[in-house]
Amino acid sequence: MQFRVNARLPCCSTSILLHAAALFALPLAGHSASAARGQPMQMSGVVTEIVLDDFAHQTSRVEYRLDDVQSRRHATLRFDGAAPQGLHTGTRLSVTGVAGDGGSILLSADSASVQTMQATSLAMQTATTQSTAATVVSGVQNTIVIIANFTNATVTSTPSQIQNIMFSDPTGHSIDAMFRETSFGNVGFSGQVAGPFVINFSAASTCDLAGWANAADAAATAAGVNISSYPRRLYVMPTTEMSACGMQGAGQVGGSPSRAWVFDYTVSDVYAHELGHNLNMAHASTPASVYGDVSDDMAASGYPLRHFNAPHMEQMGWMPAGNIRTITASGTYAVAALESNPTQVPAPQILKILKPDTGDYYYLSYRAPLGLDSGLLAGYFNRVHVHKYAGNYAAYDTYRLALLDDAGVFSDTTNGITVTQVSHASDRATVQVQISGGGTPTCQRATPVLALSPSSQSGAAGSTRSYTLSLANKDNTYCSASSFSLADVIPSGWTGTLSPSTLSLAPGATGSATLSVTSVATAAAATYSATVNVSDAANSAHALSGSVAYVVQTATCVRSAPTIAFSPTSRSGSAGSSQSYTVSITSKDSSSCSASTLSLGRLIPSGWSASLSPTTVSLSPGAASSATLTVTSASNAAAATYSVQVNTTDSATPAHSASGSASDVVVQGDTQPPSVPTALTASVSKRTNVSLTWQAATDNVGVAGYEIWRNGARVATTAARSYSEALTGGAYTYYVVAYDAAGNRSGPSNSVSLTIKVR
Ligand SMILES: [Zn+2]
């Protein structure tokens, strides 16, 4: 085995790029290297690397094309096994292999299993030494987008739709806008959309990216487009070729001019992805998936346009060197959001840690929903991203290894590197980095995070206010749980409670407690502070404190009119009679008012008399007192309902004026006499016993009784309708008179006469 590519190759020296430019400026001039299949072949030239993206199946492959600028021959390099690492666009090499199908050269890598191959040799020549600093990829990329239809398949998007995707989306989501934003203004895309043109190929023919592109260039040139003025060339092809070619897009990696092919042409991030390859970016991967890091456009397709990850930002030179910090010692470090304006950040935006066993670097970064990154998957926010990248500015895949939550740990036991996310905010995260040079990761205690809510409350002196305490353990996951003691510090004489007063929390866990504070009743109006001290006898790193405010307010006295209520609310009697009422007066002042003295007055009808006792009441807020009002109506008062009132006045407080009333009903006297009793009869028994009976009289109110008159003199009264008495001998004449309770009397009834003879 004579394969001789061990180290990564440098990329993209200026001289190589010039060669490539010269070569691609004459795309139709070359021809396939032709040799009978299986015949030995030797060739020298410059490599073009093209990534074929099959997003749908999450696989990608790379084609290497070798162009010989002198002979104008070209061939596709096919390796037995993996291509040598470090083979990139612009690499100059000479190869010895055997001719394969379709103008390819078969090259043995290090496998002996492919019997059809002969031993090969591959010698790579490099024109420059390895560059050591990033070159900023900058400038407006002048781009021709050519819509190429096949003879039997067409692109269904219109030129204006593609124009919007590339250059002028009205919502600001064009490829141009995305690159300008994520590159901090370093890179933009401008140009034009040409076509559609029909090229002389049919759908599902052999996948021939270079042949299709050459034909599209020719068609555009024939239509008057000056292709050579566009160093970026992007071909939009019918979707039918997605399955025919096993890809949705393809892009040359680096080099200028460059080519990109888009088959899934309605999906913006496919354009971004293939143009990203043109700018020399490889894939944003995870160990499990080549397109797995969709925090970056160089990953799976079908997501909103987004920024690029930290390694790509460094590779492209878009992140100022001063905002990239290489960490070489253990400590606590802040990392600011990658999208933030680099001139206005509180901390570096990329932290790098050397991975000594491979020479790669770990990249720590933090993403925030700024600009187009507001469309990132939510799982990428609030977490430190840990990437691995070769870090020598060549087109190697980036690998996202971890997304850390608070207290989450990324550890590399081989190199003794531990990264713990301590905390995060909207614009930054804080990490603890431990670089021990080997060994197992250890527990790193960190100050917990204490939050008290609300930060301030107000209340009257003597009242109780409660605050919610939240405590988050920020130790890393290699630590055991801790017991945090809580203690309050409050003004002298006040009372405070913390429940619970101890929180046992595992690393990363958050617990809560309630702080209740009661001020003394005599506390003056002022803002007071209540403090919670957190301590841990086992770990001094766990001590911290937080405070809340308690604002004692002077209660405001609000004076209001009292209520005045009569009991009963109505009494009745005849003119000249007296009626008594109980009057209740209730204070409606607010509780912080002092007691008040109210004067009581009365208001009665003219000519009446009244007494009120007492005539003043002293009332505390909310208290009630009563007085008695006795009213005597005028003796000549007409029958009617009269109002009698009691009112309150307070010379110190006009608001205390109020009144209440009751009804005093004067009833008319009875002046109507009963009717005359009738049918008076008399009978005599036992010679001397006289019995009288008569018919009842009637009265408007009621007959109270009857007067018995004998011989002109009233001898008796009775409520009954009969009367008896014993007489001596003589002549007698009787009549009766009815009367009512008011003393009204009827006229006399008929008279009856009788004679008693005594023998
Ligand atoms: Zn790709």
Instruction: Tell me how far the alpha carbon of residue 298 lies from the centroid of ligand 1, in angstroms.
Output: 6
Instruction: Tell me how far the alpha carbon of residue 261 lies from the centroid of ligand 1, in angstroms.
Output: 11
Count CA within 13 A, CB hemisphere, residue 203: 14
Can you tell me the distance from the alpha carbon of 64 to that of 76, in angstroms, rounded to the nearest whole number? 6
Average pLDDT over residues 12-23: 26
Q: Are 337 and 371 in contact (CB under 8 A)?
A: no
**How, if at all, do strands 502-505 and 456-460 pair?**
unpaired
Q: Longest C-alpha distance within the chain, in Å?
A: 190
Q: Regarding predicted confidence, which is higher, 343 or 447?
A: 343
Instruction: Tell me how far the alpha carbon of residue 716 lies from the centroid of ligand 1, in angstroms.
Output: 136
Q: Regarding predicted confidence, which is higher, 7 or 66?
A: 66
Instruction: Tell me how far the alpha carbon of residue 342 lies from the centroid of ligand 1, in angstroms.
Output: 28
- pLDDT of res. 671: 77
pLDDT at 29 over 70: no
Instruction: Tell me how far the alpha carbon of residue 274 lies from the centroid of ligand 1, in angstroms.
Output: 6
pLDDT at 201 over 80: yes
Which amino acid type is present at position 304? P
Can you tell me the distance from the alpha carbon of 143 to that of 701, in angstroms, rounded to the nearest whole number? 119
Instruction: Tell me how far the alpha carbon of residue 55 lies from the centroid of ligand 1, in angstroms.
Output: 8
Q: Which residue has the tokens 């913006």?
A: 268
Residue 640, C-beta contacts closer than 8 angstroms, at least 6 positions apart: 665, 666
pLDDT at 2 over 60: no
Instruction: Tell me how far the alpha carbon of residue 209 lies from the centroid of ligand 1, in angstroms.
Output: 15
Task: Enter the DSSP assignment of 367.
Answer: B
Instruction: Tell me how far the alpha carbon of residue 282 lies from the centroid of ligand 1, in angstroms.
Output: 7
**Token pair belonging to 439:** 């060994």
- pLDDT of res. 27: 33
pLDDT at 549 over 50: yes
Instruction: Tell me how far the alpha carbon of residue 34 lies from the centroid of ligand 1, in angstroms.
Output: 30
pLDDT at 294 over 90: yes
Can you tell me the distance from the alpha carbon of 371 to that of 384, in angstroms, rounded to the nearest whole number? 19
Q: Are 195 and 238 in contact (CB under 8 A)?
A: no
Q: Are 105 and 32 in contact (CB under 8 A)?
A: no
The count of residues in the chain is 759
pLDDT at 280 over 60: yes
Instruction: Tell me how far the alpha carbon of residue 294 lies from the centroid of ligand 1, in angstroms.
Output: 12
Count CA within 13 A, CB hemisphere, residue 207: 16
Can you tell me the distance from the alpha carbon of 520 to that of 130, in angstroms, rounded to the nearest whole number? 76
**How, if at all, do strands 482-489 and 502-505 pair?**
antiparallel
Q: Which residue has the tokens 């034009």?
A: 192
pLDDT at 15 over 80: no
Instruction: Tell me how far the alpha carbon of residue 286 lies from the centroid of ligand 1, in angstroms.
Output: 14
Can you tell me the distance from the alpha carbon of 96 to that of 119, in angstroms, rounded to the nearest whole number? 9
Instruction: Tell me how far the alpha carbon of residue 150 lies from the centroid of ligand 1, in angstroms.
Output: 24
- pLDDT of res. 35: 66
**Token pair belonging to 513:** 């407690």
pLDDT at 119 over 80: no
Going by pLDDT thresholds of 50, 70 and 90, the confidence category of residue 85 is low
Can you tell me the distance from the alpha carbon of 147 to that of 199, in angstroms, rounded to the nearest whole number? 10
Average pLDDT over residues 387-403: 84
Q: What is the DSSP string of 52-102?
A: EEEGGGTEEEEEEEEEETTTTEEEEEEEESSPPTT--TT-EEEEEEEE-GG
pLDDT at 96 over 80: no
The mean-pLDDT minimum among 33-37, 262-266, 294-298, 586-590 falls in 33-37
Instruction: Tell me how far the alpha carbon of residue 371 lies from the centroid of ligand 1, in angstroms.
Output: 24
Going by pLDDT thresholds of 50, 70 and 90, the confidence category of residue 404 is very high
Instruction: Write the pLDDT tens digit of every residue in 451-490.
Output: 999 999 999 889 999 999 999 998 877 788 999 999 999 9
pTM (2 d.p.): 0.57
Instruction: Tell me how far the alpha carbon of residue 276 lies from the centroid of ligand 1, in angstroms.
Output: 8
CA distances from 486 to 483, 496, 507 (A): 10, 12, 18
Going by pLDDT thresholds of 50, 70 and 90, the confidence category of residue 341 is very high
Instruction: Tell me how far the alpha carbon of residue 289 lies from the centroid of ligand 1, in angstroms.
Output: 12
Q: Are 676 and 697 in contact (CB under 8 A)?
A: yes
**Token pair belonging to 701:** 């109110």
pLDDT at 6 over 60: no
Q: Regarding predicted confidence, which is higher, 390 or 664?
A: 664
- pLDDT of res. 572: 83
Average pLDDT over residues 37-47: 79
pLDDT at 11 over 60: no
Residue 161, C-beta contacts closer than 8 angstroms, at least 6 positions apart: 266
Nearest to 528 by CA among 544, 501, 554, 547: 547
Count CA within 13 A, CB hemisphere, residue 557: 13
Instruction: Write the pLDDT tens digit of every residue in 213-227.
Output: 999 999 999 999 999
Q: Are 62 and 83 in contact (CB under 8 A)?
A: yes
Give the Cα-Cα-Cα angle 634, 639, 642 (nearest 5 degrees): 70
Can you tell me the distance from the alpha carbon of 254 to that of 87, in angstroms, rounded to the nearest whole number? 12
The mean-pLDDT minimum among 240-244, 559-563, 639-643 falls in 240-244
- pLDDT of res. 623: 95
Can you tell me the distance from the alpha carbon of 121 to that of 118, in angstroms, rounded to the nearest whole number? 10
Instruction: Tell me how far the alpha carbon of residue 62 lies from the centroid of ligand 1, in angstroms.
Output: 9
Beta-sheet strands, E only, within 116-157: 121-125, 139-149
Going by pLDDT thresholds of 50, 70 and 90, the confidence category of residue 391 is low
Average pLDDT over residues 130-138: 58
- pLDDT of res. 394: 58
Can you tell me the distance from the alpha carbon of 702 to that of 741, in angstroms, rounded to the nearest whole number? 7
- pLDDT of res. 358: 80
Going by pLDDT thresholds of 50, 70 and 90, the confidence category of residue 76 is confident
Average pLDDT over residues 669-688: 87
Q: Are 593 and 614 in contact (CB under 8 A)?
A: no
Q: Report the share of the chain in percent with pLDDT over 70.
A: 89
pLDDT at 9 over 60: no
Chain centre to alpha carbon of residue 299: 29
The mean-pLDDT minimum among 95-104, 167-176, 197-206, 572-581 falls in 95-104
- pLDDT of res. 98: 78
Instruction: Write the pLDDT tens digit of every residue in 532-543.
Output: 999 999 998 899
Q: Which residue has the tokens 């109505």?
A: 570
Q: Are 626 and 607 in contact (CB under 8 A)?
A: no
Instruction: Tell me how far the alpha carbon of residue 279 lies from the centroid of ligand 1, in angstroms.
Output: 12
Instruction: Tell me how far the alpha carbon of residue 325 lies from the centroid of ligand 1, in angstroms.
Output: 29
Average pLDDT over residues 392-397: 68
Instruction: Tell me how far the alpha carbon of residue 194 lies from the centroid of ligand 1, in angstroms.
Output: 24
Can you tell me the distance from the alpha carbon of 97 to that of 38, in angstroms, rounded to the nearest whole number? 9
Residue 344, C-beta contacts closer than 8 angstroms, at least 6 positions apart: none
Q: Which helix (H) or strand (E) holds 715?
A: strand 713-718
Can you tell me the distance from the alpha carbon of 169 to that of 180, in angstroms, rounded to the nearest whole number? 14
User: What integer best gives the mean pLDDT of the chain?
Assistant: 86
Nearest to 283 by CA among 236, 237, 243, 251: 251
Residue 63, C-beta contacts closer than 8 angstroms, at least 6 positions apart: 49, 50, 52, 76
Hey, which residues does 92 pair with through a beta bridge? 46, 125
Q: Regarding predicted confidence, which is higher, 86 or 685?
A: 685
CA distances from 543 to 214, 301, 404 (A): 70, 48, 25
Instruction: Write the pLDDT tens digit of every residue in 568-620.
Output: 999 887 888 889 999 999 999 988 888 999 999 999 999 999 999 999 999 99
pLDDT at 120 over 60: no
Instruction: Tell me how far the alpha carbon of residue 48 lies from the centroid of ligand 1, in angstroms.
Output: 15
Can you tell me the distance from the alpha carbon of 15 to that of 441, in angstroms, rounded to the nearest whole number? 47
Q: End-to-end alpha-carbon separation of the chain, Å?
A: 184
Instruction: Tell me how far the alpha carbon of residue 312 lies from the centroid of ligand 1, in angstroms.
Output: 14
**Token pair belonging to 548:** 């809340």
Residue 173, C-beta contacts closer than 8 angstroms, at least 6 positions apart: 268, 304, 305, 372
Average pLDDT over residues 712-718: 91
Nearest to 82 by CA among 108, 103, 57, 119: 108
Instruction: Tell me how far the alpha carbon of residue 53 lies from the centroid of ligand 1, in angstroms.
Output: 5
Q: Which residue has the tokens 């002196």?
A: 461
pLDDT at 26 over 60: no
CA quadruple 88, 90, 91, 96: dihedral sign: positive
**Token pair belonging to 532:** 């919670």
- pLDDT of res. 131: 36
Instruction: Tell me how far the alpha carbon of residue 487 lies from the centroid of ligand 1, in angstroms.
Output: 58
Instruction: Tell me how far the alpha carbon of residue 275 lies from the centroid of ligand 1, in angstroms.
Output: 9
Q: Regarding predicted confidence, which is higher, 382 or 440?
A: 382
**Token pair belonging to 696:** 């009842």
